[in-house]
Structure 1
Amino acid sequence: CFNPALSASLRSTVSKAELAAAVALSILAFNVARSVGPALGGGIVALGGASAAFTVNAMSYLLVIVVLWRWRGEPQGTSARPRTGFWATIGDGLCIAWAVPEIRTILLRAVTFTCTGAAAWALMPLVASDLLGEGSATFGILLGALGLGAVIGAATSTWFRNRFKAETLVRMAAVIYGLSCIGVALQLGLFAMTFLLVVAGAGWVQALSGFSVAGQLWAPLEAVGRVVAMVSSLTFGGIALGSWFWGHVAESQGVAVALMISGGAMLFVPLIGLVCPMPDQQKSQAAS
């Protein structure tokens, strides 16, 4: 509930020229938290138990509440549209997403990218234990490498976005991420695998920020929250579905095979762009 509202607020917080960078920073924060959080949480549990971890987690939201309390967005004016019920509002959002071909394309590309590429994130503990024969420290290094890649991807996203079209960026990200997964599956050693995961993390964030930015730019202003929610739901729903699928593949065929198949499949993901290319941001409704 919180993330779609937060993402939707970016459009009224920064200018259109800064939107891509703001979205990249938001995705960066999520991926860094996902990389650092488990290690930090594990340390808190080791020191004070599970109750201490839940207490610290709850207290961390106090800062968020203070920031939201002090922040005031720009007034958007009063809408002349009559208020509708909860389910009717959701239905309207689905109708808008279905009626706008560009939004349909964004949703399709987001779910196919994350579902296909979820193996690296889902199987990372097994990469450390099964492929490298190491423990939690190595797992932290590998997960931290993905987080570092996310930082690099977010820091360079504006530079790439100013020079390449959205479709080109998604294609490059898929190929880079896929090749990195194949390299990890080849078990080239900890140093090489760490480097490959940094590259993979950068490509991952480039693609996810592209989906989020495109969703915000093509969504009508009155439905931006619902469209962003759908993009987020399918993006992370793809991760959840892909994690389940690649987990079953790893259980039956092995971790290396699952990563190899996932990486190979990512190399074919750009072919979807031949039929459903990412919409051009310069032609978006928000930029018009």
Structure 2
Amino acid sequence: MRFTDFQLLATGQTLSWVGNGFQTVALAVAVVQAGGGPGDLGLVMAASIVARLVCTLFGGVWADRLQPQHVMVASDLVRLLAAGGMAVMFFGGAYHLPLLMALAALSTGAASFFDPAFSALRPLLVPPENRQSANATLSMLQTGSQIAGPALGGVTVAAFGASAGFTVNAFSFLASMVAALLLRVRAERGDRTSMLSELAAGWREIAKRDWLLFGLFGATVYHIANGVILVLVQVVAIERLGGPSAAGFIAAAEGLGGVIGAAVALRFKPRRLLRAGWLTLLLMPLWALAYVWPAELIAVIAGAIIGYAGLIFFDVAWETAIQDNVPQRMLGRVSSWDYLTSFLAMPVGNVLAGPLEATYGTSKVLTVCAAVLFLSAATQFLVPGTRTLTRATAASPADPGPVPELPDAVKEPHPEQQSTAVSPVRR
């Protein structure tokens, strides 16, 4: 059987996403068992955040300068070596915090180059009318991996130690790298200018589209509020809803909601997809408010399923809108600006959570933040482009031309079978 480029990408990425779950568990266990404690773990996470902020925009430029799969291969190689270095360090019983911080920053910095390249590559693999299906499929695979990866990682690390978790993650990067090397699609690339000029050109592509510009501003506000919420709901779940087991049930519900949202996006294809996406994002405040009232575990689980279904449908709609309307040669830079808003705003909300909770109380802060989530999505309907933007159904200026066919699992349904039912925001 000959795999299509899309199947290769989906397979490699699924293995990589699962592998990331192993490293998430392994890193926390390794630091704690080595006697590092929360302070050391916080420093490692801070090093990762700084690397992400420094590298993201440059990653977008290089994704548009080179073939995106070449950037992905280089990124995977660096991440493989970083994960391998962590495995060797902890396997030998050594623990060097500065080295661990450097390896974590190296891995996250490489990911900052990978993500824009991945975004730039995806629309090359499918025709315009199948982009929503492809994005929904990848979103479903990613959400499922975010459930399976930590679960499998926890079992593996418990049985074989943290080094085994890092080793599995290293091999997952190898799988992703091999898949990217096998891709046959090629993107057209223009002449290079200075780094700053190319970054500015990416921003100009955003500024000329009202739905994109105001969408990024709305997402920034959304992420600050959501950063506060994500800290406080963990405390509420553990202290008031049943402890770690409750937190686990809620996390599983969020994953289930994500899978449902992606499944809906596979079948439901409105002409004004972006408008529908912002509409479904209005469901997310229900998740946050469930922690306030009725503040029962079953209500929070229901809110998580509904809210995350809306979030993932929005993610698919947003990614599809960008792919349909931004020229392919600019996708890496536009995506990097999109990623940057997420990674700048979320830590701000995380930092504000403690002081706000101490001053106003958990319930008030969650209620206000839920209102901010609602308003950040609802105000997008005031933007003309958001209301009128339509899906691409044929070749367009952003369309790269003939590409390999989408696998049967994600092809558009036959007209007689098609349903007639009526993340700039990231998880």
Which one-letter code corresponds to 1:183 in the other structure? Answer: A
Query: Counterpart in 2 of 1:218?
Result: 325
CA shift, 1:227, in A, is 0.9
Out of 371, 375, 396, the position equivalent to 1:264 is: 371
SS for the counterpart of 1:267 is: helix
CA shift, 1:39, in A, is 4.0
Query: Counterpart in 2 of 1:193?
Result: 300
Structure 2 CA distance for partners of 1:33 and 1:46, relative to 1, 3 Å: same
Query: Counterpart in 1 of 2:382?
Result: 275
Which one-letter code corresponds to 1:155 in the other structure? Answer: A
Structure 2 CA distance for partners of 1:248 and 1:32, relative to 1, 3 Å: farther
Matched ranges for 1:248-259 at <5 A: 248-259=355-366
Structure 2 CA distance for partners of 1:219 and 1:194, relative to 1, 3 Å: same
SS for the counterpart of 1:56 is: helix
Q: Which moved more, 1:153-162 or 1:101-110?
A: 101-110
The one-character-per-residue Cα deviations of 1:84-127 (angstroms, maximum 9, x if unpaired) are: 23333223212332344343133223323333334454444323
User: For residues 266 and 220 of structure 2, what CA distance do their matches in structure 1 show?
Assistant: 23
The one-character-per-residue Cα deviations of 1:174-219 (angstroms, maximum 9, x if unpaired) are: 2x11123212322442222212111111011122222222222221
Structure 2 CA distance for partners of 1:184 and 1:224, relative to 1, 3 Å: same
Which one-letter code corresponds to 2:192 in the other structure? Answer: R
Structure number with bigger Rg? 2
Question: Is 1:152–2:264 an aligned residue pair?
Answer: no
User: For residues 11 and 138 of structure 1, what CA distance do their matches in structure 2 show?
Assistant: 39
Question: Is 1:27–2:134 an aligned residue pair?
Answer: no
The one-character-per-residue Cα deviations of 1:133-163 (angstroms, maximum 9, x if unpaired) are: 412x322211111011000001101444326
The one-character-per-residue Cα deviations of 1:221-278 (angstroms, maximum 9, x if unpaired) are: 2211111222222234433333333454335444443332222222323442243352
Which one-letter code corresponds to 2:336 in the other structure? Answer: A
Check conservation: 2:280, 2:311, Cα contact below 8 A.
no
Question: Is 1:3–2:122 an aligned residue pair?
Answer: no
Q: Which moved more, 1:202-211 or 1:33-42?
A: 33-42
Matched ranges for 1:30-41 at <5 A: 30-41=142-153
Query: Counterpart in 2 of 1:12?
Result: 124
Out of 239, 258, 277, the position equivalent to 1:130 is: 239
Out of 213, 216, 219, the position equivalent to 1:110 is: 219
Check conservation: 2:229, 2:288, Cα contact below 8 A.
yes
SS for the counterpart of 1:51 is: helix
What root-mean-square deviation, in Å, do the aligned CA atoms of Structure 1 and Structure 2 show? 2.7
Which one-letter code corresponds to 1:146 in the other structure? Answer: E
Which one-letter code corresponds to 1:281 in the other structure? Answer: T
Query: Counterpart in 2 of 1:231?
Result: 338
Check conservation: 1:212, 1:228, Cα contact below 8 A.
no
Which one-letter code corresponds to 1:117 in the other structure? Answer: N
User: For residues 280 and 181 of structure 2, what CA distance do their matches in structure 1 show?
Assistant: 40
TM-score by length of 2: 0.59
Question: Is 1:55–2:55 an aligned residue pair?
Answer: no
CA shift, 1:22, in A, is 1.9
User: For residues 398 and 153 of structure 2, what CA distance do their matches in structure 1 show?
Assistant: 40
Query: Counterpart in 2 of 1:85?
Result: 194
User: For residues 280 and 138 of structure 2, what CA distance do their matches in structure 1 show?
Assistant: 21
User: For residues 259 and 44 of structure 1, what CA distance do their matches in structure 2 show?
Assistant: 36
User: For residues 145 and 243 of structure 2, what CA distance do their matches in structure 1 show?
Assistant: 23
Out of 182, 195, 203, the position equivalent to 1:94 is: 203
Which one-letter code corresponds to 1:172 in the other structure? Answer: T
Check conservation: 2:210, 2:383, Cα contact below 8 A.
no
Q: Which moved more, 1:34-43 or 1:208-217?
A: 34-43
Unmatched tracts of structure 1, length 5 or more:
none
Q: Number of aligned pairs? A: 282
Which one-letter code corresponds to 1:15 in the other structure? Answer: P
SS for the counterpart of 2:184 is: coil
Question: Is 1:65–2:174 an aligned residue pair?
Answer: no
Structure 2 CA distance for partners of 1:45 and 1:189, relative to 1, 3 Å: same
User: For residues 44 and 255 of structure 1, what CA distance do their matches in structure 2 show?
Assistant: 36
SS for the counterpart of 2:291 is: helix
Question: Is 1:240–2:240 an aligned residue pair?
Answer: no
TM-score by length of 1: 0.84
Check conservation: 1:216, 1:228, Cα contact below 8 A.
no
Q: Which moved more, 1:271-280 or 1:50-59?
A: 271-280
